Each structure stands twice: as structure tokens, then as C-alpha cells.
A and B are shown apart, each in its own frame.
Chain A
């Protein structure tokens, strides 16, 4: 069992954060028809589904294209990481060309995952733009990457661990520092 040092977001706040991200996305993108949602495995994909539902509820749009990325094969530490992680699979079965892709992950930290995700995304086509939405931005970037939409920005120490826990996977709903 992991030891929780601090609770950063509780269950009620979580829904509020998802809705606020969705609203910001809609405000920033008047051409709603071009929107597409792509979540990064594993928790980013769950959040992406929630944001998609929230977007559809707020805007009344239907069938926003949705995809999932497994960035394992694009990781920059793959050759040094020893035993290969299990691949969960990438699924992008819509045409990416000309889309405004909202890339979604749970926590933005060093930026390396996002770098990998960007590399993988462009192998599927040429989107009009890619924007980044994260639930938590905890700082300590190692790459020149920033979030276009962040649910919450939290000051952390470099070696702090921030965990987003979601009901679909973790049977509990919160964000904690351990």
C-alpha cells in the first residue's frame, strides 16, 4: 500500500476540473467541427473519455472523434529500460489530417511522455494543430512543452510523486501526493 502524504484533489473537485477544461477548450476553438480527442494510456485515456462526454454535453455536439495512444514504442528510455513493458495498443481510427487534436494526459511533469505522444501522433497524419490538456501540471519540465489547458497547477518538489486515481481503474477518485 502506498503512503499518502497529501490529498490534492477530492472526488467532487475532479468533476469540476473536467468540466472547466472542456469549457476552456470550447472557448479557444470556435471551429468545433475540427475537434478530435486523443488520450494517452492509461489514465489520460480515461480522462479523455470524460472530457469528450463533457464537451458533447456542453456543446451539444455528437460523435467527436476519439482515439487512444500507447506511447511505449516512442519512449526515449526504451532501449535502456530493460524488460519491455506490455503494450496496450494505440487506436486512432479516424483521419487525423486537418483536425484540431486535443491531446490529454493526467499529469504533466518532465514533458517526455508528451514528446513521445507528439512523435507518434504525427505518424498518423498531419493535424491542423495539437493542443495539450492535463488534469494536473506539477512543473519540473525537461523539455520546452507547456499545457494549453491545465485543470490545476501544483507546486511540487522534483522527487515528489503525484498520483491521479480514477474510479474506472483504481476504484477511487482523487489526486494525491505520495
Chain B
């Protein structure tokens, strides 16, 4: 394998507290040196004016394979990941069938390997068929490659089963990822409960349906002394609950999505289903609280909750359209444009939440530019200006709420274990 020297770039590696112009040497798919020296290499990439970061990790995506390959496949999702600057993804188990056994986890690995682009890590189901009744074979799932457990969009409603799942997962040192929603409160809701839902006549999903479950799962994690990660946090109350739990030393982490950081429920005014996802877009004050949580470190991770849906499914009445939007190809520019460039978080905070933090939560050897690490590297042009056009995406789906946004920042080169992908 040819050696690569990335020169003159601003190396941002929060795990090693590095943020300065340096050279990165890659040999045999591994990082062999980061520093001011300029060793010889087969290939030199001049990264002047660019950011050189550990390969970005999106720990919350849905790749639809097996089951709905018309919407996304592991191959198309990997291509989208590279296009968005991501070298690793964690795929949620809500495929058809669910990833709830060793073979189905292994299938994800093998498909990703065949594709030869991004690394894809499967998340296994907490319960069989994600039905919330019997625990899945977590041990076998881990053997098959699962890096965490989640029933995702069908959260475990029974507290006793959730407690068992947390307790059992401890044996494998894995984190349980919780989509927090009390279905008895969210019922047939399709958007945030509140004034906008009231004027539109749409049923609401109240913030408390999330908060009650965040509260419950923190209490359960504390009781089980297990690792809990709260997915896509969306309300001010949830942020506060996690903040307090962290202060008390509970082993809880959480993530926020670009859409909950930049959009509010008022975008639904025209019944546009590209703004329909679960948890739903909340109010401005919720959005501000999530931003505050991101800033003060309460929120560890930025993840897209990339959820592809065909336009046939989305181009229907608002209340029957499926929840979910794609995001893997817009997460980086949206975060850079709306949060970094507007001074809400620093670029190194953003990189931390897109690299080392998700890697630590999932326990995967990624997310740093340490010597000896896999050469997963993202090279970002921070001044690249472009307009988001879903028709140019590598993803198979187009359900993107950011279409038409003018953004700054793009991953121009993505390196996975020493293999260079150019994004044009």
C-alpha cells in the first residue's frame, strides 16, 4: 500500500488535544506519525487551508438493508457517508428482519466489507424483533460485531425489561442506546405538541413523552450501573435531566441531531413531510436548550439519525408519512455553517462530537489520529460554499429538510484505512 503524507493542514484531533498546522503520515493503512517533520511518502496531499480531522463517525443511521433496499443499501449508505465526510457509521437494527441475532449482525459487516467504503458497525436489538418482550441474544450479537444495543424507534416500554436489558448488556461492556418515548403519551402524534400542531390540527407528541422516559432510563441505568446513551435528545427538559445525571455521576451520554439544533416545529406550517421525524422538531426554546447542552458538554455526540424514505412514502398526507429524514450528507456543512461559523461551538468541539466521543461510547478503535491508529481521516475545506441539492446525493433517498440551504464547508477528501476517496 502506498504511503501518504498530508501536509500543511490544520490538524484537529481532540482526543490528543491537537489543533495546529502539522503533517500526517500514513503507511500501510495506519497513521505512523503526526508532527512538524516532513517525511518522504509515495503520495503527498497538500492540505493548505484545510482541516485534517480523524475520520468522522455517525453513530446513528438507518441503512434499510435488508428489507427496504429501494430506499438505501449498505453500499449506497456507505457512498453517502464518504460523500458527507464520514468513515464510520453505526447502523440501527430496525431493518426487516431486525438485527437481533449473530447472523444478521455479521451480514451488515460483510455487506460493508464488500462495498469497501466506510466502516459500518451494527447496533443490535435489545429485544427479539424489537418487540420489547424478550431479550435478544446479546452475547451472540456481540460475536457478530454489534457495538451497542437499541430497539430505537420502538423503545422498550416495559421498565422491567429495559432494566434487564441494561443489566445484561453490562456483561459485554456495551452501551444501551435509548430512543426515549412514552408511547402512551405520544399516541398517534405526528409532530411536536404545541401551538403549531394545534393550528394545523395535527396530533402532538409532547415533550414530556421524551422526558419521562429519559428520566426513567437514567434511573434504570443508575440502578443497573450500566452504560446508557440517550439518542437524539430534543427538549430542554431532557437536556436538563442528562446534565443533572452526569453531575451525579451516572454513566449516561447523549446525542443531538443537526435538525434539532437548527430547525423548529414552525417549519411544518406547509405540511411538508421532509420536516416530519421522531422525535419531532420542537420549539425555539427547546432548540436553544439543545444548543446550550452541546456547548457545555452535556451533549456528547452529534449524529444524523439518517432515515431514508422513498418519495412514494413521503409524498403523502402528513399524518400517514413515515417519520425520518436523511442527514449523512448534510450533517457536516449544517453544523459548520449554523453552529461553528455562528460561534455557538468551536470547530474542535464539533470534531470531538463527531469523532472521539462516539468512538468511546461504542468502544470502537476509531476517532483519533494517534500513531498506530487506522488511517481514517477526513480533510475538510472550511471555506467551500455550496447549495444543498438532494438530487446530487449518493443516498438513494431525497427526504432532506435542508434542500436549498446555502452552506459553507465540505469534506473534500476522505481516507479509510489509507484508501483515499475524492469528493467532487
Complex A–B touching at CB under 8 A? no
A contacts, CB < 8 Å to B: none
